Amino acid sequence: MALSSSTLTYKHRYQKAAIVSLQGEPSLLYAHQESNSLLEALEQKKVAIFSECRSGFCGACKTNIINGKVYYITEPLAHLEKGECLPCCCVPDGDLDLDLPKNAC
């Protein structure tokens, strides 16, 4: 007996935790939680990153993305160039490599 696609149902889509690297060196495993921005995750791992407002307004935490993408949980108001992100108001959208010093931890 063959199973049809209508007999298989799933409540949640599996999504692996993102690996966040600093200049190519894996530094943290980011398991998305509704309340954790990328900035909060970096701070928990003791990564030295300057920030001010935490709402995407000032741009103080602006960081270059070497590889990967981010998803904004709050629309940033600061101007961003291509390849930049504001960790205070985004989360990784898959594995992410940031241009932050490896020894920033």
> Looking at residues 36-61, what average pLDDT do you find?
91
**How many residues are given for the chain?**
105
Express each pLDDT in 23-37 by its tens digit.
Answer: 999 999 998 766 689
Structure confidence at residue 56 (pLDDT): 87
Domain regions of the chain by residue span: 17-104
Structure confidence at residue 104 (pLDDT): 52
Write down the CATH number for the domain with range 17-104: 3.10.20.30
> Looking at residues 51-71, what average pLDDT do you find?
93
pTM above the 0.75 mark?
A: yes
Express each pLDDT in 38-47 by its tens digit.
Answer: 999 999 999 9
Cα gap 62→83, rounded to integer Å? 10
Cα gap 78→15, rounded to integer Å? 30
> Looking at residues 54-70, what average pLDDT do you find?
94
Phi, psi of 7 (to 5 degrees): -85, -15
> Looking at residues 63-73, what average pLDDT do you find?
96
Percent of the chain residues past pLDDT 70, beyond the cut: 80
